[in-house]
Amino acid sequence: MVEQLKFNKMAKLKITNLCYPEVETWFICWDKKEIKAYSYVNTDECLSTNWKQVDYYTNEAEWAEILIENGIDPNE
């Protein structure tokens, strides 16, 4: 019974995927208004995350600007 409950909770999680983008793509994962994860996906890679809100950028400067506006140094 406990295993079934765990499975039902996991089944409700939405997984966001980005696989093999045509161009290098930067992303930011948000929890409400707080950045929880950020990085990039090469054209030969996949991203899979449980974060519901994910913003994608094909312009690294635009991605970096959003991070800086939120107090994050993208070069660290």
pLDDT at 76: 86
pLDDT at position 14, please?
Answer: 64
Segment 16-63, tens digit of pLDDT: 889 999 999 999 999 999 999 999 999 999 999 989 899 999 999 999
Task: Write the single-letter amino acid at 68.
Answer: I
Is residue 19 domain-resident?
yes
Task: Evaluate whether residue 52 is within a structural domain.
Answer: yes
Q: Which domain holds residue 37?
A: 14-69
Instruction: Decide if 23 is inside a domain.
Output: yes
Phi, psi of 46 (to 5 degrees): -125, 150
Confidence check: pLDDT of 2 > 70: no
Q: Report the alpha-carbon distance of residue 9 to residue 4 in Å, rounded.
A: 9
* Mean predicted confidence (pLDDT) in 6-16: 54
Tell me the pTM.
0.79
Note whether residue 61 is domain-resident.
yes
Residue 75 resides in a domain: no
* Sign of the CA dihedral running 11, 16, 21, 25: negative
Tell whether 4 is covered by a domain.
Answer: no
Residue 61's closest CA among 75, 43, 47, 51?
75
In a domain, 3, yes or no: no
| Residue 65 domain-assigned (yes or no) | yes
- Domain count of the chain? 1
Q: Is the pLDDT of residue 67 over 90?
A: yes
